[in-house]
Amino acid sequence: MMPLENLAINTIRTLAMDAVQAANSGHPGAPMGMAPVAYLLYNERMKYDPSRPEWMARDRFVLSIGHASTLQYAMLHLCGVEQYQNHQPTGEKAVRLDDLRNFRQLNSRCPGHPEFGHTSGVEVTTGPLGQGCAMSVGQAIAGQWFAAKYDREGESLFGYNVYTLCGDGDMMEGVTSEAASLAGHLKLSNLCWVYDDNKITIEGSTSLAFTEDVGKRFEAYGWNVLRVADANDLGALREAFDRFDDEKERPTLIIVKSVIGFGSPNLAGTAKVHGAPLGVEEVALTKKSLGWPYAEAFTVPEEVRELFANGIGMRGSERYAAWERAFAEYEAKYPVEAKELKTLLAGELPEGWDAKMTPWEADEKGTASRNSSGKVLNQLAQGLPWLIGGSADLAPSNKSNLTFDGAGDFSAENRAGRNFRFGIREFAMAAICNGIATTGIRSYGATFFVFCDYLRPAIRLSALMHLPVLYIFTHDSIGVGEDGPTHQPVEQLASLRSIPNFVMFRPCDANEVSECYRWYAEDRTQPVGIALTRQNLPTLPRNEGGYAPACGVRKGAYVLRDRVNPATNLPDVILMASGSEVHEILEAQVALEAKGVFARVVSVPSFELFDQQDAAYRESVLPAACVRRVAVEAGIAMGWEKYLGNAGIFLGMTGFGASAPYKSLYTHYGITADAVVERVL
């Protein structure tokens, strides 16, 4: 008779094998090798209640090796995790046997890689290697921040541990190194990475390209490095996790030697079992070698179900009940903090959140939109006490520091700080912000706009996960000037506008900046980027001289200032622009009117929001009858075609910029009011 623990571990293995075989697609090797680790984490180690997978104080499990998704799906099934939707239980299990049978098929809760918000119990969307590791750093930061801000009287109610399963691919990706370096610096002792050291990648042995000593690297980062010689040694694994529990000053890396495809007589330890089904015959041989007594696929022995019910099921329920009682006492003693927590977790805004966000007075000289952004960010953060973030070593230039009393820096000494020093780690910054955002905290990251290319993969995951992360991008165009083409973004606006479920803003003055921040605060379904200038922009006299209020930002595009030909009751030409170029077309409008040409000026801060408006509104802004149109933007033309039509003209960049004062560059590239007038006439 097979020992019950071994039977449970082999159940995990066989579910993974059967799911991949049924789909004829997937990665069975890592789940087979690391099943003992997953078993111990879920059934013995984690503070987790399967019936309440959104419990704020739960431990988190991040499968950074997202291709090994059947390992997590098997665990969610065996633990009986409940499916939640809109923060409410649906009465269904998150992963049913039918979902495993339909692995990688349409409408299954077992997609090819774990997807946050699709399957309860999945804490982040993973698959692009390294990002799961980096996001787990964000989740660990959030756990420390919750505890520091809300715990009282020495009792820990709101902190938690984060366990991350990573592999050789993660260890090769640069973002993992960025995040690990920061985690060590911050001494995130609630973070435990388990490294599946199986020495195999898709191409074969890791010796082909990866021979470094990972343990020494992490020791240099300041991590507590532990080693387990055999993934099947449950005693050694338990001891390693105990040592993680005892560690109070460093994050922990447990290097676990495993055999990919463990149990397969012909494929174990080879690249052939990494990313392809074993095959019907090899599945049968593997089950035989494991001593698996069941012929039917997707078999879960009843005694295994009972083992998990009496393990994580009972333990999790008891721990949650104890926590709920403790929280009731906490709420009675600290009603203000408890209300704040409930508001945060519900994704709602506190009363008076925008009280400090006042309108900007008209100012012909104006200010750079990076400056107005910094002021509005601080106004919003004072009313939204769970808005936290920072810059990739560019805070003085990004104006992204929270400077009001009590903001402070998050550090190893101050876990309640709201400013983050991410260092020159753009990709990790964005991924960490994603991890933070999964907990309900609102996060932001800032850098120069041209460097958005460094963090684009994390922005994509922000959008996939519907996370309200704020990306503050300054130095938004050739207006950067003397720094030259390496620092002048020309294609970045078009690039980010192409990402589904991502809202990109480029405001033209301080009041548009404020409206961008309002929109971000009120929406919690998607990430937002704001592109901001280095050069000064006039603050327009709203509601005077025919200027429309800045609330038009919420529509994505709006008629900022209109001049209509009395003979046709339409403008003769529509001038469109975003950001700093709006002021060029406003100047052109005046010059054209002096020559008898009536122009409509349309500010277009967000393509995405404008495209979401109904046809009637879009027609009211860009009437089809007016085919003469000019768009002006200090970037490439891509995307403007849909607004310009066949007869429209674009003035902007067709290549990279150059090093010179910004006014010289605008003249050189023909992005001026005079150039607009010339093209219209």
Asked if 451 and 614 count as a contact pair (C-beta separation under 8 A), the reply is: no
**pLDDT value of residue 553:** 98
297: left (phi over 0), alpha (psi -120 to 50) or beta: beta
Inter-CA distances, 67 with 353, 410, 497, Å: 41, 33, 28
- Which residue matches tokens 């990251």? 445
Asked if 19 and 71 count as a contact pair (C-beta separation under 8 A), the reply is: no
**pLDDT value of residue 1:** 65
Q: Determine the distance from the C-alpha atom of residue 607 to the mean position of all C-alpha atoms in its chain, rounded to a whole number.
A: 21
Q: Cα angle vertex 676, ends 675, 681, to 5°?
A: 100
- Which residue matches tokens 């945060």? 344
Q: Coil, helix or strand for 228?
A: strand
Rounded Cα gap, residues 400 and 390, in angstroms: 6
* Beta strands across the sheet bearing 191-197: 60-63, 162-167, 191-197, 252-257, 224-228
Q: What is the DSSP letter of 113?
A: S
Beta strands 387-391 and 419-421 are: parallel
Task: Give the pair of three-digit tokens for residue 423.
Answer: 């260092």
- Which residue matches tokens 């995990």? 12
Rounded Cα gap, residues 77 and 93, in angstroms: 8
Rounded Cα gap, residues 529 and 607, in angstroms: 12
Rounded Cα gap, residues 40 and 667, in angstroms: 66
Q: What is the DSSP letter of 393?
A: S
Nearest 10 degrees: Cα torsion 351, 352, 354, 360: 160
Show contacts of 96-102: CB within 8 Å, 24+ apart: 97/298, 97/300, 99/73, 100/15, 100/18, 100/19, 100/22, 100/70, 100/73, 100/74, 100/298, 101/19, 101/22, 101/298, 102/22, 102/23
Contacts of 668 (CB under 8 A, 6+ apart): 658, 660
Inter-CA distances, 460 with 299, 529, 609, Å: 37, 12, 18
Asked if 222 and 184 count as a contact pair (C-beta separation under 8 A), the reply is: yes
**pLDDT value of residue 154:** 74
Task: Give the pair of three-digit tokens for residue 436.
Answer: 């933070």
Q: Which of 123, 178, 247, 426 is catalytic?
A: 426
Rounded Cα gap, residues 572 and 586, in angstroms: 15
Give residue 138's identity as a one-letter amino acid code.
G
**pLDDT value of residue 62:** 98
The HSE-up count of residue 137 (CA atoms within 13 Å, CB side) is 31
Inter-CA distances, 32 with 260, 262, 268, Å: 7, 5, 9
Q: What is the CA radius of gyration of the chain?
A: 28
Contacts of 525 (CB under 8 A, 6+ apart): 466, 468, 501
Beta strands 536-539 and 363-368 are: antiparallel
| 512 is annotated as an active-site residue | no
DSSP 174-217: HHHHHHHHHHHHHT-TTEEEEEEE--EETTEEGGGT--S-HHHH
**pLDDT value of residue 442:** 98
Q: If the chain, 681 residues long, is cut into consecutive pieces of 10 residues, what is the mean pLDDT of each piece?
A: 92 98 98 98 98 98 98 98 96 98 97 98 98 98 98 89 98 98 98 98 96 98 98 98 98 98 98 97 98 96 98 98 96 96 97 97 97 98 98 98 98 98 98 98 98 98 98 97 97 98 98 98 97 98 92 98 95 98 98 98 98 98 97 98 96 98 96 98 93
0.85 surpassed by pTM: yes
Rounded Cα gap, residues 28 and 615, in angstroms: 49
Rounded Cα gap, residues 96 and 94, in angstroms: 7
Q: Which residues on neighbouring strands pair with residue 629, listed in sequence order?
A: 574
